[in-house]
Copies of this chain bind each other. A is one copy, B any other.
Amino acid sequence: MTYSKFEDDAAVVAFVRAHTDQFTADEPLHVEEIGDGNINYIYRVKGNEGSVIVKQALPYIRIIGTDWPLSIDRIRIEAQVLQTEAMWAPNFVPKMYAFSAEESAFAMEDIGDHENLRFAFIERHPLPSLGEHLGLFLAETLFHTSDFYLDYETKKRAVANYINPGICKITEDLFFWDPYCDHERNSISPPVLEAAQGLWNDKALKIEVTKLKRQFMNCSEALVHGDLHAGSVFVRADSTKVIDPEFAFYGPMAFDIGSIIGNVLLNYAGQFGLAGPKNERDDYQAFLLGEIVNCWSAFHKRFTDLVAEKSDEPTMSQPDYVQTFLADVWCETVGFAGTEVIRRTIGLAHIADIDSIDDIELRAKSERWALALGREMIVNRHSISSPDALNAIALALPY
């Protein structure tokens, strides 16, 4: 099968009409390509009132072209994961309307009244429920796809179903290798080079990163989103939606939780140098740390309740075991968050939270701070036993 891009707007309209019942037959539809992402094609199809989003994957990365092939299977996985997430956390994901393997595309709910969390962070928007929503989303999706909930056969078939090698390889390289050596894919601002070189020579750090990588590669614990950075989260003051699970696979729960907490800390690092009055930035930093606490508390509470209510697996549901398990997940969360903080600072894919600081010296100060924090989180994760302990480290780390 050769996959091709929707030829024109009419093809997108035909897809939506054939696969969804969101529009009446005679309603005029308007198509707009809206993707600000890198990998796939995203269209908004608007009718008289409603609208629908279409996402299409081609066997390569959109912004690079056929030079960087990427398996089309990711769109089947994304569509299935969106449906699984919708089953357990319907408030926190766009509704999936229809997937078609033939066009390697699916149609979903338009959540255009939400904004990208990364930009909400940069503009310091108040998001009073963010941490709680994320914690609930994580608890629901991770619990219900793990051995705590699924029977042994369903779980193991699911592991096979979501094997996603090419996609996982990207993470294996970008998170756990590039930043720890002089790799050509890295993007390092000159005033940070010395700090980066410090990481390359840090044997203890490299061993701990490799242990995290081993978990990422071998711990098939739950169906993780796999790319839960701030750009995959869309927010309103009262609502949170998680999109883009094309990196999903069976991996460690701590990877998802760590990815999003890493992004909160990256914005914290950026706030030192972003525009605006100091007290506003200070307040937002305090808000960010509070949301880390809220996210973990909500996750921890909901996960504990779910095990008590729904797990009939007699060994894993022992209450003492659940608490030990969650304590362990927290430490690994800190470690994975540290790898996200580091790879976004000197790896291939930077983020606007820090890159939009115009002054190169100010930016470098945030970057060096982030590298120091990330290192500390990875190496000492087993003694950082709570969100408060993590926050204390961030507060104590000199800027």
Q: Could you list which residues of chain A lie within 8 angstroms of chain B, going by C-beta atoms? A: 147, 152-153, 155-157, 159-160, 163-166, 168-169, 172, 176-177, 180-181, 203, 206-207, 209-211, 213-214, 217-221, 314-316, 318, 320-321, 324-325
- Asked whether A206 and B315 contact (CB < 8 A) given A218-B219, A220-B218, the answer is yes
Choose among B147, B157, B214, B219 the residue that contacts A163 (Cβ–Cβ < 8 A).
B157
Say whether, besides A159-B163, A207-B324, A325-B214, A314 and B169 are in contact (CB < 8 Å).
Answer: no
Closest residue on chain B to residue A180 by CB atoms: B315
Contact status A152-B177, CB under 8 Å: no
Query: What are 18 A-to-B residue pairs whose CB atoms are below 8 Å?
Result: A147-B214, A152-B165, A156-B164, A156-B168, A157-B163, A159-B160, A159-B163, A160-B163, A181-B314, A203-B318, A206-B315, A206-B318, A206-B321, A209-B315, A210-B315, A214-B325, A219-B220, A220-B220
CB neighbours (8 Å) of A168 from chain B are: 152, 156
Copies of this chain, whole number: 2
Most buried by B among A152, A177, A325: A152
Q: Which residues of B have CB within 8 Å of A176?
A: 315
Which of chain B's residues have a CB closer than 8 A to the CB of A153?
165-166, 169
Q: How many Å lie between the Cα of A164 and that of B153 in the bound state?
A: 9
Residues of B within 8 A of A157 (CB): 163, 165
Which single residue of chain B is at the shortest CB-CB distance from A222?
A: B218
Are A321 and B172 in touch, CB under 8 angstroms? no
Assembly CA distance A220 to B157 (angstroms): 14
Inter-chain contact B152/A218, CB cutoff 8 Å: no
Chain B residues with CB under 8 A of A147:
214, 217-218
> Are the CB atoms of A210 and B318 closer together than 8 Å?
yes
- Chain B contacts of A155 at CB under 8 A? 217
